[in-house]
Amino acid sequence: MTDEKALVPANYVEQLPSTQVGTDEDFDAIAKSSDFLPRLQLYTKGKAVNKKLVAPGNYGIPVTDDEVTDLGDEIDILPLARRPKAIDLKDPENIVAVFDVNDPEFKRIQVQSGEKESGCMYGPSFLVYERSTGQFLEFFCGTKSARTEAKRIFPYLPLAQERIDRDPKLAEQQPHDAIPVTMKSRLVEKGQWSWHVPVAVKCSTPFTTMPPTAMIVEQIVKFLDTKREGAAVVQEPAAPGGEDPDARVR
């Protein structure tokens, strides 16, 4: 009986024609589960940590309920844009996300975020480019601790001359591109509560590899066009239980 395995040449791969049409980047793009911006999240407790998908105190990118890309407890990002965001997660079938601070719904969520188990969060939301994955991500600072640290990220955002000209408080500033930031984490312990908080410091290592400028512009425009968010908000999880007593999220 002929052994069919023996008939396959050891270097048969070298003899094959091209096995795909298009580039690897093309296939990565069309294989995405959605067109929504992935999230960057600081994990401390909750299902993902309990399942050992990510270590507590580490940053991660949630992929599915059973998969998290664990980035470690120190990452480098470029903050590219910011927007206000308020989100009400009480009803998983009808999640509310608002991006206008003058909207009554934003104000309602902001007030209710201080109530126990309200399911409400608000704060600055950043578009960032993460070094190790080469991905554009959303980093939402929706808890009291995260909102405090978000202020330290503001100076690293790109600063255009146009903004300097219309804001007297920036008169002494010079225009600049996005400045690299290193994000770390710190454990806070208060009584029976303990949770990790983000820590932002200036990064000493420049980003030497970046996407084309046109792609960066496209991502910024999409991020600031909040009307296109639509069903993206259903991807936003509640903060893990016990992450931050100030969050008051189930």
Q: With beta carbons less than 8 A apart as the criterion, state whether 143 and 124 touch.
A: no
Domain-located, residue 170:
yes
Domain-located, residue 25:
no
Residue 246 pLDDT level (bands cut at 50, 70, 90): very low
Q: What is the pLDDT of residue 247?
A: 38
Q: With beta carbons less than 8 A apart as the criterion, state whether 42 and 198 touch.
A: yes
Domain-located, residue 86:
yes
Alpha helix ranges (H) inside 102-194 = 104-112, 144-153, 161-166
**How many structural domains compose the chain?**
1
At 133-179, the pLDDT tens digits run 999 999 999 999 999 999 999 999 999 999 999 999 998 899 999 99
pLDDT at 211 over 90: yes
Q: What is the pLDDT of residue 135?
A: 96
Domain span at residue 163? 37-235
Q: With beta carbons less than 8 A apart as the criterion, state whether 132 and 32 touch.
A: no
Q: Report the mean per-residue pLDDT for the chain.
A: 84
pLDDT at 202 over 80: yes
Q: Give the residue with greater pLDDT, 65 vs 133.
A: 133
Q: What is the pLDDT of residue 232?
A: 38
| Tokens read off for 187 | 């454990």
Domain-located, residue 155:
yes
Q: With beta carbons less than 8 A apart as the criterion, state whether 135 and 61 touch.
A: yes
99: Cβ–Cβ under 8 A, 6 or more apart, which residues? 83, 84, 85, 86, 106, 125, 226, 229
Give CA 28 to chain center in angstroms: 19
| Tokens read off for 189 | 């312990």
pLDDT at 12 over 90: no
Domain-located, residue 24:
no
- Mapping DSSP onto H, E and C, the string for 8-43 reads CCCCHHHHCCCCCCCCHHHHHHHCCCCCCCCEEEEC
Domain-located, residue 27:
no
Q: How many CB atoms lie within 10 A of CB 17?
A: 4
Domain-located, residue 9:
no
237: Cβ–Cβ under 8 A, 6 or more apart, which residues? 62, 89
Q: What is the pLDDT of residue 118?
A: 85
| Tokens read off for 72 | 């470690």
- DSSP, residue by residue, 52-95: TSS-TT-EEEEEETTEEEEEES-EEEEEEEEEEEEEE-S-TTS-
Q: What is the pLDDT of residue 20?
A: 73
Domain-located, residue 240:
no
At 21-63, the pLDDT tens digits run 777 666 655 555 556 899 999 999 889 999 999 999 999 999 9
pTM: 0.80
